[in-house]
């Protein structure tokens, strides 16, 4: 990929599925570069949610290149995802009025339970459409969506995967990769995190660190969004031909659909 940059820059792929992220190195300067990031990134940087935005540059082909400070650090381990630090940063994001205002300004649209169901059904492979468990779960989610509490939407990350959490060498925690940001019930993030990384007996404790008591209504929302998250992951695995992971999630979906007192976390990594 050619960038219209000053001379002296060395560019290295930074990985990821989109191929839009690079590491830029020039002399003693090192930055994280990305093509066509959302303008929402500036607000995230100001709130201290992501590493500091250093500069933006419009290239000759119309693309916009953003540069963020490069921080030495690491991604979180699975066993660190239930920490109070994670809960507090997620709460900060979900309750931030500046972030909500900016996401609305750049085109963020409210996504309702009915929208999530419609998005899942869009372009769904016939093999999954006819799957008995998926049909039962869809029916249950459709029925329950009508009685879910009408809550105020928040800025949600949409992909609370541990490798999107960066802990700097100075012990500052950041949440990165905001390509799936949306305005929705914050439980879309909470359920994803709880089911993947937090033991069921620790949910109440984690939610108190986040700032919410575990009530029957909240538990109902967690279950609903946990299932829609799993459905979407199953769909993505099927599209990518990753059938081992898809079958793993189908077994987990059965456990969430018919819950017992204890069940394993949903993470395969």
Whole-angstrom distance, CA of residue 146 vs CA of residue 142: 7
Q: Active-site positions?
A: 159
- Give the tokens for residue 25: 């190195």
Q: Which of 54, 32, 65, 46 is nearest to 177 (CA)?
A: 32
Q: Is residue 149 within 8 Å of 112, Cβ to Cβ?
A: no
């Amino acid at each position: 990929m050619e960038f219209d940059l000053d001379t002296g820059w060395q560019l290295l792929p930074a990985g990821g599925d989109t191929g839009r992220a690079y590491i830029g190195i020039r002399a003693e300067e090192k930055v994280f570069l990305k093509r066509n990031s959302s303008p929402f990134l500036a607000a995230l940087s100001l709130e201290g949610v992501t590493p500091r935005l250093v500069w933006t540059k419009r290239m000759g082909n119309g693309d916009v290149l953003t540069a963020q400070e490069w921080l030495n650090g690491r991604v979180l381990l699975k066993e660190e995802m239930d920490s109070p630090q994670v809960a507090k940063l997620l709460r900060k994001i979900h309750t931030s009025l500046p972030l909500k205002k900016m996401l609305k300004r750049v085109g963020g649209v409210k996504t309702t339970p009915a929208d999530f169901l419609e998005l899942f059904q869009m372009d769904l492979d016939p093999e999954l459409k006819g799957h008995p468990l998926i049909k039962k779960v869809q029916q249950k989610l459709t029925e329950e969506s009508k009685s879910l509490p009408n809550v105020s939407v928040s800025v949600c990350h949409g992909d609370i995967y541990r490798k999107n959490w960066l802990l700097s060498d100075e012990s500052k925690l950041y949440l990165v990769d905001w390509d799936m940001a949306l305005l929705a019930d914050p439980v879309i993030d909470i359920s994803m995190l709880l089911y993947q990384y937090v033991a069921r007996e620790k949910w109440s404790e984690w939610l108190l660190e986040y700032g919410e008591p575990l009530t029957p209504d909240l538990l109902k929302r967690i279950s609903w969004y946990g299932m829609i998250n799993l459905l979407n992951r199953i769909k993505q695995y099927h599209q990518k031909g990753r059938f081992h992971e898809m079958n793993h999630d189908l077994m987990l979906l059965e456990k969430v659909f018919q819950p017992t007192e204890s069940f394993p976390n949903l993470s395969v990594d």
